[in-house]
Amino acid sequence: MLASKKNLIIAGAVVATLLIIGFVVVATLFSWWPVVVDITLVFAAVASLILLSALIYAVFSLTRTVLRIRDEIMPALDSLKSTASTVRETARTASSFGVQPAVRTASAVLGGGQIASVILGRGQARSRSEKRQRRRQELEREMEREERLEMEQTGLTLEAGTLEAGTLEEHNGHR
C-alpha cells in the first residue's frame, strides 16, 4: 500500500512537470507571456489580500484575548493584594501584643538570673571554666581509647606475624 501511494505521487509529479513544460512551449509559440504574467500578478495580489485579512483577524483576536485575560486577572490580583496587607497587619498586631511582651519578660527573667548567679558566686566565668575542664577530660578519655585500640590492633598483628613465622618454620622443617 505504501509503495503504490509512493508510485502514485511520483506519477503525479511527472505529469505535472510535463504539463508545465507543454504550457511553456505553447505560451512561447503563441506569445501568451504578457497575459500569463498579468494572470499571475492578479493571483498573487488576491493571495496577499487574503493573507493580510487573516493576519488582521489574528491581531484583533489576540487583542481581545489579552483584554479578557486582564479583566479576569485584575480582580484576583486585587484580592491577593488585600489578603497580603491583611496578613501583614495581623503579623504586626500579633508581634506587638504577643511576641514582644513575651520576649521582654523572658529576657528580664534571664537577665535577673544571671545577675543573681554572679552576685551569689556562680557566675559565667566559673561555668565556662568547668566546661573547658569537662571538654579536656573528654578529649583525654578519647585519646586513651584510641591508644588502647591501636595497641590491641598492633598486638593482634604481632600475634598473627608470630603464628605465620612458626607455621613457615614447621613447613620448612617437614621438607
pLDDT at 102: 80
From residue 143, give the alpha-carbon distance in Å to each of 130, 136, 149, 155: 20, 11, 10, 18
- Return the amino acid letter for 137: Q
How is the chain split into domains, by residue range?
123-175
Higher pLDDT, residue 49 or 157: 49
- Residue 161 clears pLDDT 60, i.e. is over it: no
pLDDT at 126: 63
pLDDT at 44: 97
Confidence of residue 175 (pLDDT cuts 50, 70, 90): very low
Write the pLDDT tens digit of every residue in 51-67.
999 999 999 999 999 99
Average pLDDT over residues 150-159: 71
pLDDT at 54: 97
| Cβ pair 24, 30 in contact under 8 A | no
Higher pLDDT, residue 169 or 82: 82
| Confidence (pTM) | 0.39
